[in-house]
Amino acid sequence: MSELTAAINQIRQARRYTEDLLQNIPDEHWFSSPPGGVTHVAWQVGHLAVCEYALALKRVRGVRPDDEQLVSAEDFRLYGKGSEPVFDASAYPPVAEIRELFQRVHQRTLDELAGLDDATAAEPTSDPPHPMFNTKQGALVWCAQHEFLHAGQIGLLRRQLGLESLR
């Protein structure tokens, strides 16, 4: 298995794990945080969507004119780097729309990565340097690691909200 294939498989594995964590979180808990909490599930999921776009698409193939239909400027405002969770559900789209963004970006990522080759993956990324990687393949590896990091936060939120942990 090539390193590129392994990176794409890690992205798939991270998403399966995150989806398992999200599976039985009721919509009414998506904007909840325990006392003193700093995040909520809705922000985590939206953040994962915009970051998957930025890491696995934008940094690999650059920005395309139709990307605004995939991930909007408003999505980046709500969930992008430097954004902070707001503990008012009315500040966000409904849970169904956040889930749809999460799925839409992931499916586009998998569709586009299917055509990526090892030589292209070894190239430097198209954006300014990142402290975690310097190649397109490195961006893909970080994409999976980043999702696992936030899946851990979702797992912690599940427990603090009184939901069972995954076994």
85 closest CA partner among 52, 37, 35: 37
Q: How far apart are CA 57 and CA 1, in angstroms?
A: 22
pTM check: above 0.85: yes
The domain segmentation of the chain, as residue ranges, is 3-160
Which tens digit of pLDDT belongs to each residue from 50-92? Answer: 999 999 999 999 999 999 999 999 999 999 999 999 999 999 9
Which tens digit of pLDDT belongs to each residue from 8-25? Answer: 999 999 999 999 999 999
Provide, rounded to the nearest whole percent, the portion of the chain with pLDDT above 90.
Answer: 89
Long-range CB pairs of 25-30 (<8 Å, 24+ gap) are 25/158, 25/161, 25/163, 27/95, 29/161, 29/163, 30/89, 30/95, 30/98
Q: How far apart are CA 105 and CA 147, in angstroms?
A: 13
Q: Which fold does the domain 3-160 belong to in CATH?
A: Four Helix Bundle (Hemerythrin (Met), subunit A) (1.20.120)
Average pLDDT, the chain: 95
Q: Which of 49-53, 94-98, 163-167 has the lowest mean pLDDT?
A: 163-167
Provide, rounded to the nearest whole percent, the portion of the chain with pLDDT above 70.
Answer: 99
Output the CA torsion sign for 150, 20, 33, 99: positive
